[in-house]
């Protein structure tokens, strides 16, 4: 391989690692935000259950807002879990392909 081709390949790999680091940082930020939303929703659910004096979601008089907040929290948690899987995959692919150069 010519020196010029090696240099282009090295630069290409460095660029890809840098892009993966940027993507990982974005994913980590999104995960932190989703975790914060889940905590907020949990507090709202707890307050609504306390106000209604009902913490059993199967009870006919369980607050509608609390039920909706529980469903939203579950969806947000699923999204956070999917992002965690994506982050793990990104880290695995990058460290495997580039010999451990990736450290997010």
The answer to whether residue 103 sits within a structural domain is no
Which pLDDT value is given to residue 66? 96
Can you tell me whether residue 59 is helix, strand or coil?
coil
The answer to whether residue 9 sits within a structural domain is yes
SS3 annotation, 81-100? HHHHHHHHHHHHHHHHHHCC
The answer to whether residue 104 sits within a structural domain is no
The answer to whether residue 11 sits within a structural domain is yes
CB 34 within 8 A of CB 80: yes
Q: What is the pLDDT of residues 7-62, one digit of tens each?
A: 888 888 888 888 888 999 999 999 999 999 999 999 999 999 999 999 999 989 89
The answer to whether residue 101 sits within a structural domain is no
**Full domain range(s) for residue 45:** 3-96
The answer to whether residue 65 sits within a structural domain is yes
- Output the pTM of the full model: 0.77
What are the residues whose beta carbons fall under 8 Å from the beta carbon of 62, sequence distance 6 or more? 52, 54, 56
The answer to whether residue 76 sits within a structural domain is yes
The answer to whether residue 74 sits within a structural domain is yes
């Amino acid at each position: 391989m010519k020196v010029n081709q090696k240099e282009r390949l090295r630069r290409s790999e460095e660029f890809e690692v840098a892009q993966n680091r940027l993507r990982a940082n974005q994913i980590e930020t999104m995960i932190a935000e989703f975790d914060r939303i889940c905590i907020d929703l949990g507090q709202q659910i707890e307050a609504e259950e306390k106000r209604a004096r009902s913490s059993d979601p199967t009870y006919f008089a369980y607050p509608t807002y609390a039920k909706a907040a529980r469903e939203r929290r579950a969806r947000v948690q699923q999204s956070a879990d999917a992002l965690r899987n994506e982050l793990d995959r990104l880290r695995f692919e990058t460290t495997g392909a580039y010999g451990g150069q990736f450290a997010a």
